[in-house]
Amino acid sequence: MAFGGFVMSSTRAAAVLIIGRPCYGVTFSIDQWALLIGVFLLTLAALYGLG
**Residues at the interface with another protein (CB under 8 A):** 1-9, 11-17, 19-21, 23-30, 35-36, 38-40, 42-51
Q: Smallest distance from the beta carbon of 44 to another protein, in angstroms?
A: 6
State the DSSP H helix or E strand holding residue 13, giving kind and residue range, or none if neither.
Answer: helix 2-24
> Could you tell me how many residues make up the chain?
51
Whether residue 48 contacts residue 2, with contact meaning beta carbons closer than 8 Å, is answered with yes
Q: Smallest distance from the beta carbon of 11 to another protein, in angstroms?
A: 7
Q: Smallest distance from the beta carbon of 34 to another protein, in angstroms?
A: 11
